[in-house]
Amino acid sequence: MSTTIPAQHHQAPDDRPDADEGLWDDQPAAFTRVPPQDLDAEQSVIGALLLSGTPGTPSYRYFAEITETGIRAEEYYRPVHQTIHRAIYALHASREPVDPVTVAAELTKRGEISKMGGASYLHTCIRAVPTAANGAHYAEIIRAKAYRRAIIESAQRILQYAYSEEGDENEVRELVEQQLTDIIAGTPGMSEAPPAVGDLYLDFVADLEDIQDGKKTGLTYGFEDLDMITSGMQPGNVTVIAAQSGVGKSTLALNAAVAAAKTGAKVMFSSLEMSSTELMQKIAAAEGRVALHHLTHKGGLNQAGWETVRRLGPELFQTLPLRVYRPDGASMGDIGSAARASAREDGLDVLVVDYLQLVEVEQSRSITREQAVASVSRGLKNLSVQLDCHVIALSQLNDDGLMRESRAIKSDASVVIKVERPDLEEEGSPRAGEVDLVVEKNRFGPTARVTVAAQLHFSRFVDMART
């Protein structure tokens, strides 16, 4: 959801209402203080760059050390330092030497030399730096100050929106959570132009080598053939698992969540249909090979079953990075809030939502059910990108085997898997116990049909080879 924050209007002291006197007294200081900055450090970094920016010289390593801090032009407080920084790195990108003469020429060519009062300011920066060897340390100081300024800006956005009284509580909460998430990620207010493909090429080749060598794959679904076809679960993407009621889509998704978590991935399973107890029972049945009905009925566990459950505590449950979330409501805002909280706590790699048609959105008289589900689908896609995680979204099929409100769901998904059980349609089927995972959409490879074995008494699906 995109929220526009209105500009804040300050009243003059004489116009302040008496009832709000204490509230307004605190405001001017918050908005008139000088933001955190260190101009000496900024001059020192510019000076260090000017002294060490020529490749092949002994001091060039200092230039590289400053670059490795990740400092960007936007992180300087003084605009003139931002301008000089951009000119320096433009020369560096063109493999030109960096020194006061070349930078002055570059600034002159850009028509920016007059902004700093002439080339003499470059020599002022050189005189300011104690030693170029400490350039990286000065750069870290600048970045720390910039981060504090960004926090202040985010806090002011929250404050302005709160004063405006616009939006409902869900919009306010989403704004606050997004600002906090950005602050923790260290990114608020620090935007820059997207990279050019030339800048991405070396990273692309390195990733390609890892992929070809089998060193970089997506997170596992828990099924060998499915992983091979789809390249596993990739961050920033959505997999839709669709099936009719009773086929086992929730079980399949839970199996995938546990399989990913067992590799160390941070997973959150949001269930709008099953309770936390039911989910725990299914995990225990699948991982301990204990019949599910023994866990759900009085006296069903014998001594061996109890020993298995006790063993699963320290061996699985207490080490598995899997969170189970059963929201009090069923809104997209609730799920997004829980996902962001998980990401802030210790990271989030996979989010499972069971299932799409149960997620609630605010509906007006003019919105159709299809539009409402499309809003949920788009919200989950956006969440996968914002949190850099993979989303598994379950979807109900109607009696004709078609996905309800399918157009938007399929559009947002990278992978669509339809779960089919042929033995349900044919009494005495020779394929009893087999389940087809029909990959109907796959942005990472071909469409295909993967057959797995259903062991639903253990609440699990397994590769045919494992049976």
Q: What is the mean pLDDT of residues 60-64?
A: 87
Residue pair 85/46 in contact by the 8 Å Cβ criterion: yes
Residue 88: pLDDT band with limits 50, 70, 90: very high
Is residue 166 located within the same domain as residue 253?
no
Per the domain annotation, does 198 fall within a domain? no
Q: How far is CA 460 from CA 5, 251, 252, 287, 464, in A?
A: 48, 6, 7, 9, 12
User: Mind listing the pLDDT tens digit for each residue in 256-299?
Assistant: 999 999 999 999 999 888 888 899 999 999 998 988 888 888 88
| Mean predicted confidence (pLDDT) in 40-55 | 92
Asked whether residue 167 falls in the same domain as residue 225, the answer is no
The answer to whether residue 211 sits within a structural domain is no
Domain harbouring 405, CATH code: 3.40.50.300
Whether residue 313 has pLDDT greater than 80: yes
pLDDT band at 448 (very low <50, low <70, confident <90, very high): very high
**Distance, C-alpha 43 to centroid of its chain:** 35
| Confidence category of residue 394, pLDDT binned at 50, 70, 90 | very high
Same domain? For 125 and 236 the reply is no
DSSP per-residue codes, 325-356: E--SS-BHHHHHHHHHHHHHHH--SEEEEE-G
pLDDT on residue 185: 64
Taking only Cα atoms into account, the Rg of the chain, rounded to an integer number of angstroms, comes to: 29
Question: Mean pLDDT of all residues in the chain?
Answer: 82
Q: Are residues 266 and 232 in the same domain?
A: yes
pLDDT higher than 50, residue 14: no
Judgement on whether residues 188 and 224 belong to the same structural domain of the protein: no
CA 344/CA 369 separation, integer angstroms: 33
Confidence label for 116 from pLDDT (cuts 50, 70 and 90): confident
State whether 304 and 166 are in the same domain.
no
Domain that holds residue 83: 22-193
| Residue 4, domain member (yes or no) | no
The C-alpha atoms of residue 103 and residue 225 are separated, in whole angstroms, by: 57
pLDDT at 363: 54
**pLDDT tens, residue by residue, 172-190:** 777 788 777 777 666 544 4
Reported confidence tier of residue 219, pLDDT bands at 50, 70, 90: very high
Predicted pLDDT of residue 366: 59
Report the pLDDT value the prediction gives residue 274, as an integer from 0 to 100: 85
Cis omega (within 30 of 0) for bond into 355 = yes
Is pLDDT of 29 > 70?
A: no
pLDDT of 127: 93
HSE (side-chain half, CA atoms, 13 Å) at 398: 6
Is residue 258 located within the same domain as residue 405?
yes
Residue 367 is predicted with a pLDDT of 66
Are residues 88 and 224 located together in one domain of the fold? no
Q: Are 265 and 397 contained in the same domain?
A: yes
The length of the chain in residues reads 467
Read off the pLDDT band of 84 (50, 70, 90). Answer: very high
Predicted pLDDT at 4? 39
Say if 364 falls within a structural domain. Answer: yes
Tell me, yes or no, whether 399 lies in a domain: yes
**pTM beyond cutoff 0.85:** no
Task: Check pLDDT > 90 for residue 238.
Answer: yes
Alpha helical stretches, state H, 186-321: 197-212, 224-230, 249-262, 276-288, 292-296, 303-312
Residue 137 included in any domain: yes
* Residue 210: inside a domain: no
Per DSSP, helices labelled H in 129-223 are 135-164, 169-185, 197-212
- Mean pLDDT is lowest, of 91-95, 96-100, 256-260, for 91-95
Indicate whether 2 pLDDT > 70.
no
Give me the number of domains the chain comprises.
2
Phi-psi region of 323 (alpha: psi -120 to 50; beta: other; left: phi over 0): beta
**Could you tell me if 68 and 102 lie in one domain?**
yes
Same domain (yes/no): 312, 240: yes
Q: What is the pLDDT of residues 333-373, one digit of tens each?
A: 788 888 888 888 888 999 999 878 888 765 545 567 777 77
Lowest mean pLDDT among 108-122, 152-166, 215-229, 438-452: 152-166
Please give the share of the chain, as a percent, with pLDDT higher than 70: 86
- Interval 436-453 mean pLDDT: 91
Q: Is residue 52 domain-resident? A: yes
Average pLDDT over residues 247-262: 93
Query: Which of 394, 321, 329, 322 is closest to 355 using CA atoms?
Result: 394
26 confidence band (pLDDT: 50, 70, 90) = very low
Residues 32, 86 share a domain: yes
Mean pLDDT confidence for 7-30? 39
Confidence of residue 15 (pLDDT cuts 50, 70, 90): very low
| Of the candidates 425, 423, 449, the residue with the CA atom closest to the CA atom of residue 436 | 449
CATH number for 147 = 1.10.860.10
pLDDT at 44: 95
d(CA 220, CA 234): 9
